[in-house]
Amino acid sequence: MDQSALDKLPKGWGSIPSDLNSDQTAFKGVNWGKAMMWIFLLSDTFIFSCFLLSYMTDRGSTTVPWPNASEVFGLEVFGTSVPLLLIAIMTFVLISSSGTMALAVKNGYEKNRKLCAIFLLLTALGGLTFVGMQVFEWNKLIFHEGVRPWSNPMGAPQFGSFFFMITGFHGTHVSIGVIFLLIMARKTWRGDFDTDRKGYFTSMKSDYVAIEIMGLYWHFVDLVWVFIFAFFYLW
Protein backbone atom coordinates (compact mmCIF):
# COMPACT_ATOMS: atom_id res chain seq x y z
CA MET A 1 0.00 0.00 0.00
CA ASP A 2 1.47 3.36 -1.07
CA GLN A 3 1.71 6.46 1.13
CA SER A 4 -1.18 8.29 -0.59
CA ALA A 5 -3.54 5.43 0.18
CA LEU A 6 -2.35 5.32 3.80
CA ASP A 7 -3.05 9.05 4.18
CA LYS A 8 -6.69 8.52 3.19
CA LEU A 9 -7.30 6.04 6.02
CA PRO A 10 -8.95 7.25 9.26
CA LYS A 11 -6.62 8.50 11.99
CA GLY A 12 -4.74 5.66 13.66
CA TRP A 13 -5.51 3.13 10.92
CA GLY A 14 -2.50 3.94 8.82
CA SER A 15 -0.16 1.93 11.05
CA ILE A 16 -2.15 -1.32 10.64
CA PRO A 17 -0.62 -2.39 7.28
CA SER A 18 2.90 -1.73 8.54
CA ASP A 19 2.17 -3.65 11.76
CA LEU A 20 0.89 -6.63 9.79
CA ASN A 21 3.92 -6.49 7.53
CA SER A 22 6.31 -6.46 10.50
CA ASP A 23 4.49 -9.43 12.07
CA GLN A 24 4.80 -11.35 8.80
CA THR A 25 8.52 -10.60 8.70
CA ALA A 26 9.06 -11.57 12.35
CA PHE A 27 7.30 -14.96 12.04
CA LYS A 28 8.46 -15.80 8.52
CA GLY A 29 10.93 -18.46 9.69
CA VAL A 30 8.68 -20.01 12.33
CA ASN A 31 7.76 -23.67 11.85
CA TRP A 32 3.98 -23.63 11.91
CA GLY A 33 3.71 -27.23 13.06
CA LYS A 34 5.70 -26.36 16.17
CA ALA A 35 3.73 -23.14 16.71
CA MET A 36 0.41 -24.99 16.46
CA MET A 37 1.62 -27.61 18.93
CA TRP A 38 2.48 -24.88 21.45
CA ILE A 39 -1.00 -23.38 21.01
CA PHE A 40 -2.56 -26.82 21.51
CA LEU A 41 -0.48 -27.41 24.64
CA LEU A 42 -1.51 -24.04 26.07
CA SER A 43 -5.18 -24.88 25.54
CA ASP A 44 -4.67 -28.33 27.05
CA THR A 45 -2.93 -26.75 30.04
CA PHE A 46 -6.06 -24.67 30.61
CA ILE A 47 -8.27 -27.80 30.52
CA PHE A 48 -6.11 -29.79 32.95
CA SER A 49 -5.84 -26.74 35.21
CA CYS A 50 -9.64 -26.47 35.34
CA PHE A 51 -9.91 -30.16 36.22
CA LEU A 52 -7.33 -29.96 39.00
CA LEU A 53 -8.67 -26.68 40.41
CA SER A 54 -12.18 -28.15 40.51
CA TYR A 55 -10.82 -31.22 42.27
CA MET A 56 -8.94 -29.17 44.87
CA THR A 57 -11.92 -26.88 45.48
CA ASP A 58 -14.32 -29.78 45.94
CA ARG A 59 -11.97 -31.76 48.13
CA GLY A 60 -11.24 -28.73 50.31
CA SER A 61 -14.93 -27.93 50.79
CA THR A 62 -16.37 -31.42 51.39
CA THR A 63 -17.13 -32.53 54.96
CA VAL A 64 -17.08 -36.24 54.08
CA PRO A 65 -13.68 -37.92 54.74
CA TRP A 66 -11.56 -38.33 51.61
CA PRO A 67 -10.11 -41.82 50.97
CA ASN A 68 -6.57 -42.42 52.22
CA ALA A 69 -4.39 -42.65 49.10
CA SER A 70 -1.88 -44.96 50.80
CA GLU A 71 -4.63 -47.51 51.44
CA VAL A 72 -6.61 -47.06 48.22
CA PHE A 73 -3.60 -47.26 45.90
CA GLY A 74 -1.54 -49.76 47.87
CA LEU A 75 -0.26 -52.92 46.20
CA GLU A 76 0.04 -56.25 48.01
CA VAL A 77 3.45 -57.92 47.64
CA PHE A 78 4.03 -61.31 49.33
CA GLY A 79 1.12 -60.68 51.67
CA THR A 80 2.28 -57.18 52.64
CA SER A 81 0.53 -54.03 51.44
CA VAL A 82 3.06 -51.54 50.02
CA PRO A 83 1.61 -47.99 49.80
CA LEU A 84 1.71 -46.36 46.35
CA LEU A 85 4.05 -49.01 44.91
CA LEU A 86 2.16 -49.30 41.60
CA ILE A 87 1.90 -45.52 41.27
CA ALA A 88 5.62 -45.12 41.94
CA ILE A 89 6.42 -47.64 39.18
CA MET A 90 4.02 -45.90 36.77
CA THR A 91 5.63 -42.54 37.48
CA PHE A 92 9.14 -43.93 37.04
CA VAL A 93 8.21 -45.53 33.69
CA LEU A 94 6.59 -42.37 32.33
CA ILE A 95 9.40 -40.05 33.45
CA SER A 96 11.97 -42.46 32.00
CA SER A 97 10.11 -42.39 28.68
CA SER A 98 10.63 -38.63 28.65
CA GLY A 99 14.37 -39.31 28.66
CA THR A 100 14.16 -41.72 25.73
CA MET A 101 12.05 -39.15 23.87
CA ALA A 102 14.78 -36.53 24.37
CA LEU A 103 17.34 -38.99 22.99
CA ALA A 104 15.10 -39.64 19.99
CA VAL A 105 14.98 -35.90 19.22
CA LYS A 106 18.75 -35.61 19.64
CA ASN A 107 19.48 -38.52 17.29
CA GLY A 108 16.90 -37.23 14.84
CA TYR A 109 18.68 -33.93 14.40
CA GLU A 110 21.97 -35.80 14.12
CA LYS A 111 20.44 -37.87 11.28
CA ASN A 112 20.94 -41.15 13.18
CA ARG A 113 17.61 -42.49 11.99
CA LYS A 114 18.05 -46.05 13.28
CA LEU A 115 18.84 -44.90 16.81
CA CYS A 116 16.10 -42.30 16.59
CA ALA A 117 13.55 -44.97 15.63
CA ILE A 118 14.74 -47.26 18.45
CA PHE A 119 14.34 -44.53 21.06
CA LEU A 120 10.90 -43.69 19.68
CA LEU A 121 9.90 -47.34 20.06
CA LEU A 122 11.28 -47.41 23.62
CA THR A 123 9.24 -44.29 24.40
CA ALA A 124 6.13 -45.93 22.96
CA LEU A 125 6.86 -49.05 25.03
CA GLY A 126 7.06 -46.89 28.15
CA GLY A 127 3.72 -45.30 27.28
CA LEU A 128 2.10 -48.70 26.68
CA THR A 129 3.44 -49.98 29.99
CA PHE A 130 2.04 -46.94 31.77
CA VAL A 131 -1.41 -47.36 30.19
CA GLY A 132 -1.38 -51.09 31.01
CA MET A 133 -0.64 -50.38 34.67
CA GLN A 134 -3.35 -47.71 34.70
CA VAL A 135 -5.86 -50.28 33.39
CA PHE A 136 -4.75 -52.62 36.20
CA GLU A 137 -5.26 -49.78 38.71
CA TRP A 138 -8.75 -49.03 37.39
CA ASN A 139 -9.64 -52.73 37.46
CA LYS A 140 -8.58 -52.92 41.12
CA LEU A 141 -10.61 -49.85 42.08
CA ILE A 142 -13.74 -50.84 40.18
CA PHE A 143 -13.98 -54.59 40.77
CA HIS A 144 -12.16 -55.00 44.09
CA GLU A 145 -12.75 -51.72 45.93
CA GLY A 146 -16.18 -50.98 44.44
CA VAL A 147 -15.38 -47.40 43.40
CA ARG A 148 -17.70 -45.91 40.78
CA PRO A 149 -17.92 -42.43 39.20
CA TRP A 150 -21.11 -41.87 41.23
CA SER A 151 -20.25 -43.70 44.46
CA ASN A 152 -17.35 -44.62 46.72
CA PRO A 153 -17.59 -47.07 49.66
CA MET A 154 -14.39 -45.65 51.22
CA GLY A 155 -15.52 -42.05 51.71
CA ALA A 156 -16.47 -39.02 49.62
CA PRO A 157 -18.65 -40.17 46.67
CA GLN A 158 -17.16 -37.56 44.30
CA PHE A 159 -13.72 -39.18 44.59
CA GLY A 160 -14.54 -41.66 41.84
CA SER A 161 -15.82 -39.07 39.36
CA PHE A 162 -12.75 -36.85 39.76
CA PHE A 163 -10.31 -39.74 39.69
CA PHE A 164 -11.70 -41.48 36.61
CA MET A 165 -12.22 -38.22 34.72
CA ILE A 166 -8.74 -36.77 35.29
CA THR A 167 -6.68 -39.96 35.05
CA GLY A 168 -8.82 -41.16 32.12
CA PHE A 169 -8.31 -37.89 30.26
CA HIS A 170 -4.57 -38.10 30.85
CA GLY A 171 -4.48 -41.79 29.89
CA THR A 172 -6.22 -40.91 26.62
CA HIS A 173 -3.45 -38.40 25.89
CA VAL A 174 -0.82 -41.08 26.57
CA SER A 175 -2.62 -43.60 24.32
CA ILE A 176 -2.85 -41.11 21.45
CA GLY A 177 0.82 -40.27 21.96
CA VAL A 178 1.78 -43.95 21.72
CA ILE A 179 -0.04 -44.27 18.38
CA PHE A 180 1.79 -41.28 16.92
CA LEU A 181 5.11 -42.47 18.35
CA LEU A 182 4.70 -45.76 16.48
CA ILE A 183 3.86 -43.88 13.28
CA MET A 184 6.91 -41.64 13.74
CA ALA A 185 9.15 -44.65 14.44
CA ARG A 186 8.01 -46.34 11.22
CA LYS A 187 8.53 -43.17 9.16
CA THR A 188 11.97 -42.65 10.71
CA TRP A 189 13.08 -46.26 10.24
CA ARG A 190 12.28 -46.30 6.52
CA GLY A 191 13.96 -42.91 6.00
CA ASP A 192 10.98 -40.67 5.20
CA PHE A 193 12.60 -37.69 6.92
CA ASP A 194 15.81 -38.11 4.91
CA THR A 195 14.05 -38.27 1.54
CA ASP A 196 11.46 -35.53 2.25
CA ARG A 197 8.68 -38.02 1.64
CA LYS A 198 5.20 -36.48 1.86
CA GLY A 199 2.99 -37.22 4.86
CA TYR A 200 -0.03 -39.53 5.01
CA PHE A 201 -2.74 -36.92 5.47
CA THR A 202 -1.20 -33.82 3.87
CA SER A 203 0.98 -32.98 0.89
CA MET A 204 3.62 -31.45 3.19
CA LYS A 205 7.10 -32.92 3.13
CA SER A 206 8.35 -34.56 6.31
CA ASP A 207 11.47 -33.60 8.24
CA TYR A 208 12.96 -34.25 11.67
CA VAL A 209 11.15 -31.23 13.16
CA ALA A 210 8.18 -33.60 13.40
CA ILE A 211 10.14 -35.63 15.99
CA GLU A 212 10.74 -32.49 18.05
CA ILE A 213 7.02 -31.60 17.86
CA MET A 214 6.19 -35.11 19.07
CA GLY A 215 8.70 -34.58 21.87
CA LEU A 216 6.92 -31.39 22.97
CA TYR A 217 3.67 -33.30 23.26
CA TRP A 218 5.23 -36.20 25.16
CA HIS A 219 7.08 -33.99 27.64
CA PHE A 220 3.81 -32.15 28.29
CA VAL A 221 2.01 -35.43 29.03
CA ASP A 222 4.78 -36.37 31.48
CA LEU A 223 4.65 -32.96 33.18
CA VAL A 224 0.88 -33.17 33.64
CA TRP A 225 1.28 -36.56 35.30
CA VAL A 226 3.64 -35.02 37.88
CA PHE A 227 0.82 -32.68 38.98
CA ILE A 228 -1.77 -35.48 38.97
CA PHE A 229 0.60 -37.62 41.04
CA ALA A 230 1.11 -34.82 43.55
CA PHE A 231 -2.56 -33.87 43.96
CA PHE A 232 -4.19 -37.31 43.81
CA TYR A 233 -1.67 -39.67 45.33
CA LEU A 234 0.41 -37.55 47.71
CA TRP A 235 -2.22 -35.14 49.05
Euclidean distance between CA atoms 70 and 140, whole angstroms: 14
Domain count, the chain: 1
Domain assignment of residue 22, yes or no? no
Average pLDDT over every residue of 159-166? 93
Q: What is the CATH number of the domain that holds 168?
A: 1.20.120.80
Most confidently modeled range among 1-15, 168-182, 199-213: 168-182
Across residues 208-221, what is the average pLDDT? 93
- pLDDT, tens only, 66-83: 888 877 887 778 777 788
In a domain, 106, yes or no: yes
Phi, psi torsion values for 76, nearest 5 degrees: -85, 125
Determine, yes or no, domain membership for 186.
Answer: yes
Rounded to whole angstroms, the Cα distance separating 110 from 173 reads 28
Say if residues 198 and 19 touch (Cβ distance below 8 Å). Answer: no
Q: What is the pLDDT of residue 208?
A: 84
Residue-level pLDDT at 232: 86
Give the pLDDT confidence score for residue 18 in this predicted structure. Answer: 59
| Residue 111 DSSP label | T
- Residue 18, domain member (yes or no): no
* Domain containing residue 39: 30-234
- Residue 202: predicted pLDDT: 44
Q: What is the pLDDT of residues 80-105, one digit of tens each?
A: 778 888 899 999 999 999 999 999 99
Any domain includes 139: yes
Position 7 in a domain: no
Which position has the higher pLDDT, 194 or 100? 100
Q: Is residue 8 part of a domain?
A: no
Task: Confirm whether 4 is domain-assigned.
Answer: no
pLDDT number for residue 47: 96
Using a pLDDT cut of 90, give the percent of the chain over it: 53
pLDDT band at 192 (very low <50, low <70, confident <90, very high): confident
Across 194-215, average pLDDT = 72
CB-CB neighbours of 103 under 10 Å: 18
Report the DSSP beta bridge partners of residue 76.
81
Q: Give the pLDDT confidence score for residue 29 in this predicted structure.
A: 62
CA dist., res. 89 & res. 129, Å (int): 10
Whether the CB-CB separation of 176 and 218 falls below 8 Å is answered with no
